A and B are shown apart, each in its own frame.
Chain A
């Protein structure tokens, strides 16, 4: 029998607020342990959490960008469980009355555009971080992350393959980054993903028993964990054995999922409304204000890039993969209105250098204006294409402008016919044998002559002119 997977993702995104969700402690990543804590986030008795307004605004941005219905009335709840990373013994989250429900995003698959429905988006606080001692039976608890704001984005089980899961996750990440509410860094944990997956006979309508997968901290691991789980579950079903509903951890070293064996089995969180936090009411005005502040989103931008600049869909994909890269491209095209040339330079030269340094376009040493200057020098024939690439590398390495580098290195292309003629004549008189052969019909020697002339000019002669003059002289 063949089986098809049914997958739903729960995605946690850390919001880029300056302070925590319920207190004024800093959210900066990487501070020394427990230096960003206070009585509120340490869960000391008698303290009162107060909601950070920006958390609501950021969450609303994501909810609106994913076409969710905003709840006019929502409420925080306590999720009770004991774990040392949770100082209060409960996590403040939302349960019955989440901020938003019933949205969707479109993902692009090989079979075309597919809609993945979003079940709900809610706000909650992050937990602390545990470091386990390798030699002693102790763990170290750092509460800096406790109370950092999160949104949890829960999809409907609309995802039909591991590839779709990865694409959906990338799509969410792109939107979060466009909205500037989350940096989307999976390695640092500012974007995290759990997956629910079950199998059913292909085409069936019912749902099989699902497992929940955790601990997948990269796009690749999400895909690999789901692929493994499909193999594991189908092997069980083939043998007529039941799939056990449980939480499983992805072990990236061994490439398998491992049962958490009942540790968190009893999902008995005894949620109840948090009496310390008053309800949130969001009216149409507030929604409208947030909606009108939304930036152009990835899909809209991609389509506009294709329409307005005549870019292919794959080029538009690359250039809209981040908002800052798209902005960079548009800044270049505004001053140098040849979109295809600009796109090619950005996607090949610029992105190669950025990738080499693991650098974001925001920190690129070559500003859009500087790239415009280089492209203009190229366009006017002041520098050749080959030289321009060298100049670009130099610009990237030193931060100097194109014209400075061209002047310093004497890189200006030689376009003076007299100068090129004398170079050509030198080459012909030094290679009389080849000249005779060429004139006898061995025309592929043309490349040899061009090469010799370019070498004499140190690469600066205009190649078209070299070709023309050579042909003329060789015709004799």
Chain B
């Protein structure tokens, strides 16, 4: 099986996703992702030259809501899942 995804790419994607992988995990993920892609390759066997590119399976379009304000969430509820808060804001490790 030819490698579609290199170990280097797995590391890159892991960095973007803020994941820290052990060496064994890197190997396993590389293998898994290549298997997934090999399976997706099957789709290329279909002739899709007459099928326009599409982003949705259902033919819905132009779904809008009117520009109206509705009540927001109670702040205490909004902050309920915050790892840390001061009662008004979500508090996170300092980022600049």
Give chain A's interface residues, CB within 8 Å of chain B. Answer: 17-19, 24-26, 32-39, 42, 50-56, 75, 80, 82-84, 130-133, 136-143, 266, 268, 270, 273, 275, 278-281
Contact = CB atoms under 8 A, between A and B. Distances in A.
B73 A38 contact: yes
**Which residue, B15, B90, B91, has most C-beta atoms of chain A within 10 A?**
B90
Given A26-B69, A132-B94, A266 B16 contact: yes
B18 A82 contact: yes
Contact of B89 (A18, A19, A34, A275): A34
B1 interface: no
A94 B6 CA distance: 30
Contacts of A273: 55-56
A38 B93 CA distance: 23
The 3 closest A-B pairs by CB, nearest first: A24-B70, A140-B89, A53-B64
A136 B91 CA distance: 11
B69 A19 contact: yes
B95 to A, nearest CB: 6
A143 B90 contact: yes
Given A42-B78, A82-B18, A132-B94, A51 B65 contact: yes
Contacts of B88: 32-34, 140
Interface of B: 12, 15-16, 18, 55-56, 58, 60-73, 75, 78-79, 84, 86, 88-96
Contacts of A140: 86, 88-91
A86 to B, nearest CB: 11
Contacts of A270: 16
A52 B96 CA distance: 32
18 contacts: A18-B69, A25-B72, A34-B79, A35-B72, A35-B75, A37-B75, A51-B65, A52-B66, A53-B66, A137-B93, A138-B93, A139-B94, A140-B86, A141-B89, A275-B56, A278-B60, A280-B61, A281-B62
A75 B64 CA distance: 13
Contacts of B12: 266, 268
A275 B55 contact: yes
Contact of B92 (A19, A56, A141): A141
A80 B15 CA distance: 13
**Majority SS at the chain A contact face:** loop
Contact of B96 (A56, A132, A142): A132
A50 B79 contact: no
**Which residue, A75, A131, A132, A139, has most C-beta atoms of chain B within 10 A?**
A139
A43 to B, nearest CB: 11
A35 B96 CA distance: 24
A139 B78 contact: no
A138 B94 contact: yes
Nearest to B63: A278
A142 B79 CA distance: 11
**Which residue, B55, B84, B91, has most C-beta atoms of chain A within 10 A?**
B55
A37 B64 contact: no
A54 B67 contact: yes
Given A266-B16, A278-B56, A52 B64 contact: yes
B26 to A, nearest CB: 18
Nearest to B82: A141
A38 B75 CA distance: 9
Given A19-B70, A138-B92, 15 more contacts: A18-B68, A33-B88, A34-B79, A50-B65, A51-B63, A54-B66, A75-B55, A137-B93, A138-B84, A138-B91, A139-B93, A140-B89, A143-B78, A266-B12, A266-B15
